[in-house]
Structure 1
């Protein structure tokens, strides 16, 4: 219970600060819901980061259990378009980090976080100079992109994928239950939303609904596969091939019956590629 209270306090504090933070940020986020990345999406990442004109990009593969393979496939999607200035950069937990590796993050125009397990990524970077420098790069104008697990880590309140009451992993929640969703702290590059990925393909509605009922200060953003949101300030553009589902709990409604959650007045919007929306 104490942990939940601490997380809720952190959540409210981040929401209150989010508008002020946005005013100081020059960079953008490119949050991908997993699955394949069509060439047009990769081209958009290149265009928004500007690495086709100058600078370079790096891939951080720490979410993956096979980081070398993850870095290879992530960089290869750029190489196929003739963009060869994207490089893998791997870190391990508690390593003594060379200044040159940190500078490589600091000066990158594109920082791309690959898929895998968001908990694994945060276990390596949380509280380190890596995390600090990612924030610094974002503030100074870099594009921070991430797919699947790399999408989940973008928000301050991060869905881990685990169910507290049902430890056997399932790709979607079977119920909308009280105190079942596990939340940890992500990178906090965006603080007023909570991100879910593979959303339509894996029917993760129960999971995201649980989140916005338990943490009503946040807006739930479910991004489908082969789809992304490009975040610039408070404006979000849908990029790719499928939908983005947005849940809000404007009345902070929450009721319970035994271990089941209920709420009234939940808002849902479904956005298609090319459409934009704002989060206040």
Structure 2
């Protein structure tokens, strides 16, 4: 399989420090050429989402960034799809990752994003925009407990809901707001029930930059990695168990492989 020429800039949510946005701008080179597109479909208020996303770029003197919103009832035009394919930067805002995927899954918009990434574009996302990067996407819902909580109460089987994401990362499941919201239980569930996957928990004001099969941490906080290299999995009365899980706490500047070994 041909490796995409593009890079991913996956932000764990929260505030985006100016230094981190500057790094994103320089990585995508939109300060020198080309343009960026904001996709706000995760948000309940897409216009506001575009407005605030543009401010972070405008504060650095970057004005060649525009918003492009779509709904299930409003398919993209050929001109819009060409704009996505040609963008140096595609930025997916926060909100609800399910809402985003309901709009783009198996549509020409998804194809255009993947083509842009394949050809060298930087695809960035924050919060929900981070979750959609995974092939296996955490929805945030618990199957056994319909009342939403920011973190899981238990480590138990058949509770975590996984749906298809964009699949720009095929070997890992991304979780966001990770340390601030103590989302350890749900990512542990993910790597036990999907043992081939690396679990990547990205904290707020923090990002990983993915190029090929490796990634680097940037920003102000940490990234937590869970690996299940032996594909260990046990279930006792609905409680999950596993042996020899590996946990790493990575600081800014740290690099890691995207393989689960």
| Bin of the TM-score, shorter chain as denominator length | over 0.9
Separation in 2, partners of 1:62, 1:34: 16
Q: Which has more helix, going by share of residues?
A: 1
- Count how many residue pairs are aligned between Structure 1 and Structure 2: 259
Look up the match of 1:45: 24
- Partners of 1:250 and 1:93 in 2: CA distance: 39
Identify unmatched segments of 5+ residues in structure 2. Answer: none
Which of residues 77, 83, 89 is equivalent to 1:110?
Answer: 89
RMSD: 0.7
In 1, Cα distance between equivalents of 2:75 and 2:185: 41
Aligned match for 2:234, one of 247, 252, 255: 255
| Paired residue secondary structure (2:149) | coil
Aligned to 2:66, what secondary structure does the other structure show? strand
What's the counterpart of residue 78 of structure 2? 99
1:65 alignment partner, SS class: coil
1:234 deviates by 1.0
- List per-residue Cα deviations over 1:45-100 (Å, max 9, x = no partner): 00000000100001000000000000100111000110111111111113242211
1:242 matched to 2:242? The reply is: no
Query: Structure 2 CA distance, aligned partners of 1:275 and 1:87?
Result: 32
**Corresponding residue for 2:39?**
60
Cross-structure match for 2:51: 72
1:205-244 matches, cutoff 5 A: 205-244=184-223
Question: Contact between 2:3 and 2:212, CA under 8 Å: does it hold in 1?
Answer: no
TM-score, length basis structure 1: 0.91
Tell me the CA shift for residue 255 of structure 1.
1.1
- Matched residue, 1:166: 145
* Distance of 1:94 and 1:110 partners within structure 2: 25
> Quick check: 1:145 aligned with 2:124?
yes
- Match for residue 89 of structure 1? 68
Partner of 2:155: 176
CA distance in 2, matches of 1:277, 1:96: 38
Give SS of 1:116's match: coil
Unmatched 5+ stretches in structure 1: 1-19
Could you say what secondary structure the match of 1:159 adopts? strand
Distance 1:169 1:97 in 2: 32
C-alpha change, 1:81 and 1:264, in structure 2 (3 Å) is same
How far apart in 2 are the matches of 1:190 and 1:98? 27
CA deviation map 1:107-161 (0-9, x unaligned): 1000000000000000000011000010000000000000000000001000000
Q: What is the DSSP-based 3-state SS (H/G/I as helix, E as strand, rest coil) of the residue aligned with 1:24?
A: coil
